[in-house]
A and B are shown apart, each in its own frame.
Chain A
Amino acid sequence: MNALALVSQLGGVVLAVALAPLLAGWVAQCRAWLQNRSAPPLLLPYRTLRKLFRKDAALATQASPLFRTAPYAVFGAMVTAAAIIPSVTTDLPLARVADAIALVGLFATARVFIALAAMDIGTVFGSMGARREMMIGFLAEPALLMVLFNAFLMFGSTALPTIVKGTLDADGLTLHPSLAFAGVAFVMVLLAENARIPIDNPGTHLEVTMIHESMVLEYSARHLALIEWASWLKLFNYACIGFTLFVPWGIAPHTAGPLGLLLAIVWLLAKLAVAGAVLAVIETVSAKLRIFRAPEFLSMAFLLAVLGLLVHLLLQS
């Protein structure tokens, strides 16, 4: 572990935390363009954060300490997750601490905390949102795990940097049919987990249809800011997991110097821009599913990922 590794580790985390609102703003902007609306400013999420942090927190009278701790826990889990995803470089000292399974575990931790906090006040929408979030989560979580296992079967490691290295070091282009299945499954999980359109609508304020929003209804000011930031970070993390598994080109290898890292950041920005635009397109062309269809959608993702495993085992044996 050298100094550069530490710097890139810390820098990567700070970059993720700083860029996450930008990605959210970019997706919102693309969506607005595609839907013929005038777009909100790109930097709106940052302004929202500043506004929220300044406000006084209005806390329900019966809120327990758990309710006040949860935003920090969720944010902490998401930042830790960002630290082990090789978004810029594969030289991550922390990646040895937690692998892909732990990454899924971190997402689960965040989800459980936010669902518990939603149930804490005892309002109608809070508990309904918690139930729905857990319903989505219990299918999305294994689906994501199965997607990651596809990568494991290819490179024999659950450590994300090793997976990236495996693709980057491969001589010649290797096509992995199982990755096609994993890719489709991953996009489906990404949409569901980040409260995107076929499952949830991040822009909605119709109480009965929303999931994520109804969980955080009782939050305000700095708590809400942390939760929102964490959810943007989650989208960012998911995007970076996607890059890690499917388009790792541009991520700096171990040997890269400072210049290589800068180049990798440029690559990351480019990939994020494309991914954000694609996400906006998907959201625009698809319609929101009834909540009862959500399990169907997610079990499809889960089974597709499992199918990927099977196809890999068949074709590579």
Chain B
Amino acid sequence: MAAVNALATATPLAVLLELVAAWLLVGVLGLARPHRIAWVARLLFPLGALVALAVAGMGALALSADFAMQSAVLPLGLPDLPFHVRLDALSGFFLLLLGSVGAGISIFAAGYFRQGEGTAPGLLCLQYHVFLASMAMVILADDAYLFMVAWETMALSSYFLVTTQHRLPEIRRAGFLYLLMAHVGALALLLCFGVLHGGSWLMTFDSMRAATLSPAWAAAAFLLALFGFGAKAGLVPLHVWLPEAHPAAPSPVSAMMSGLMLKVAVYGMLRISFDLLHAGPWWWGMLTLAVGLVTALFGAVFAAVQTDMKRLLAYSSIENIGLIFAALGLALLCYAFNMRPLAALALTAALLHALNHALFKSLLFLATGSVLHATNERSLGKLGGLIRRMPWVATLALVGTLSLAGLPPLNGFVSEWLLLQAFLSTPSIPHAFINMIVPLGAAVVALTAALAGYVMVKFYGVIFLGQPREPSLMQAHDAGWLERVGLAWLALGCILIGVFPQAALDAIAGVTQTLLGTVIQRGPAPWWIAPVAQAQASYSGLWLLLGMAGVIAVMFVLVRRMYHGRVRRVSPWNCGYPELTPRMQDTAEGFGQPIRHMFGPFFRIEREVPSPDDQLPRYRIQIDDRFWHGLYLPLARIVGWLADALSVLQRGRLAIYLLYSFLTLIVLLVFVL
């Protein structure tokens, strides 16, 4: 009873800190019996899910209109450098995202992890919950010190999670690349905070907010932040780690990285650009917008030609992050021209898309996990027809697929709709050149959204539809009930936001109020949005769903009543060709062929085509990222060359090393004198 009272009187921030501690505790408990799968999976992961739900609840509390910002100083950290934490609407929104999506992933993970896959389950449980807790701490941090500590913890814990199956060399390689990129990004962030304090040397965000920076320093801070968070989020050209690390990780971890960690980077970008730097000149927005659009198109095009289902989803994550950053850039741009309502609209689109992407991408990554467990196959070329063996996973994945394709009445459509509305309103920007370029942005967004549809048809069609491409697929089994619950939770989120979009927008209104001091117009009902003006545009997911469902129901009844519902099962017609083998279906390569053909210059293609008189015809195609060969490998060569050049210093004799120290000392002394 006392505990309940204490909880009732405790502030949301205090409860949140306790919840984070609870996550850490759950993680540590995993070490108690690291190899007992029942202990770890059946008890600890569901507990973690409960904590996640509570985090989401606290985040939602922070979004209510009468919530006042809370902050606290923790008795942790270095003697003169305590940790500061703060809960405001922005962190509240991202905690809501983290908690609600994290709960689904944790429940799924409870059914997913099993013995004998690399790292022991107990250790995995620790890494997993430390990852969750560090993400929460990044969001709660109110000084650069805690932010960086949590940020690095997040990078490290996720690195260990990525390399769960560390016995495979390609997974170690992917993990190394990830760690490298994470640290290059973190370095940029460190420098960014170094600029942000503005000479006061105080590391709290409050002093950074108050600091006045000269335009050049502010720009430097912004660019460093864009680089640092861009490296984490996967903006082109810093995206290379993403398609390597996501597939390497176990599926729940891929879901967390793609659904949650990328959003934490979005959070950081918002925190620094809007909150700490108070936005800036218009070119900040233009740059972010351009980078976002390029990333979006790049991700979509590459996703269309992938043949590994998790790589496909990873590229699709790049695409969606691009859209989010494009919306963010648009918000910055409008803010620079002091067009607050429009900036609020763009920011709302960015935040909603972040939430939506967290929901449907996690859902799809988890679904690939179920497929992987059922079939041991990740390559699209060896899957197919699973809708008949795994109806649960297939149905729930269909929801995610349609959401990601941006189809009404699901949630992906709502955020794309908002984004397009925001783009459409930009011709009122009082700058002749910009208002001409921005509609092109709308064109790119539209093209990307349509490409996402293509990608998703490929993804779903090749995995779940058609005939099984391997005989072993006939033994595939559906997911267990815990996995189903996890998937269903996320699918429900997709549907609910799609059908009641205004409810989600209400939650976001608190954020735009905090960051921009304005909110978008409220729709007339929870299921009805009209963000600008009713006359300009309105959309209601619920009515659209009812309309479609009504037509379908009426049609179904009419057909049955007036005619009949008789069905004869026959073998497929196939234009009368008698032979029909699974090999005749479109492969993943085949389905991506039109995109490969059209966007040829995007790719670095190596193709091996058999000649007509080959005895054993072999067709092989490899599609690579031009950035990898054009940017990263040369960079790596330069680094290697520099290291070689420096290795002349390495002599192996102690006396020479002492001489180096001695000379350094002399030089320093000369400077001092």
A: residues with CB less than 8 A from B are 53-54, 56-62, 64, 66, 72-73, 75-77, 79-80, 83, 94, 96-99, 101-102, 105-106, 108-109, 111-112, 115-116, 119-125, 127-128, 130-132, 134-135, 137-139, 141-142, 145-146, 149, 152-153, 156-159, 162, 207, 217-218, 222, 226, 292, 295, 302, 306, 309-310, 313-314, 317
Contacts and interface: CB of A to CB of B under 8 A. Distances in A.
Contacts of A156: 535-536
B562 to A, nearest CB: 7
A149 B446 CA distance: 11
B120 interface: no
B454 A137 contact: yes
Given A98-B544, A149-B442, A159-B536, 7 more contacts: A61-B569, A102-B539, A108-B406, A112-B405, A127-B461, A130-B591, A134-B458
A131 B465 contact: no
Contacts of A80: 544, 547-548, 551
A76 B548 contact: yes
26 contacts: A56-B564, A56-B568, A57-B567, A60-B573, A62-B385, A64-B387, A66-B465, A72-B552, A97-B539, A97-B547, A98-B544, A99-B539, A101-B417, A106-B408, A108-B405, A108-B407, A116-B457, A116-B460, A120-B387, A122-B465, A124-B584, A127-B586, A131-B594, A137-B454, A149-B442, A317-B432
Nearest to B452: A138
A66 B388 CA distance: 10
Given A53-B563, A157-B536, A73 B552 contact: yes
B537 interface: yes
Contact of A131 (B447, B577, B590): B590
B449 interface: yes
A193 to B, nearest CB: 12
Interface stretch (B224-232, B308-316, B420-428): B420-428
B443 interface: yes
A40 B547 CA distance: 35
Interface in B451-499: 451, 453-454, 456-458, 460-462, 465-467
B212 interface: no
A106 B545 CA distance: 11
Interface residues of B, number: 83
B666 interface: no
Contacts of A157: 535-537
Contact of B407 (A79, A109, A310): A109
B440 interface: yes
A72 B617 CA distance: 43
Residue with the highest number of chain A CB atoms closer than 10 Å, among B385, B450, B543: B450
B214 interface: no
A146 B539 contact: no
Interface of B: 384-385, 387-388, 398, 402, 405-408, 413, 417, 420-421, 424, 427, 432, 435-436, 439-440, 442-443, 446-447, 449-451, 453-454, 456-458, 460-462, 465-467, 528, 534-540, 543-544, 547-549, 551-552, 555-556, 559, 562-564, 566-575, 577, 580, 582, 584-586, 590-591, 593-595, 597-598
B547 A94 contact: yes
A66 B405 CA distance: 17
B568 A83 contact: no
Contacts of A73: 548, 552
Given A75-B551, A302-B447, A162 B465 contact: no
Contacts of A317: 432, 435
A138 B573 contact: no
B538 A99 contact: yes
B457 A115 contact: yes
Contacts of A119: 457, 461-462, 465-466, 585-586
A47 to B, nearest CB: 15
Given A75-B551, A122-B384, A109 B594 contact: no
Given A108-B453, A131-B586, A313-B427, A121 B539 contact: no
Given A105-B407, A105-B413, A158-B421, A134 B457 contact: yes
A222 B563 contact: yes
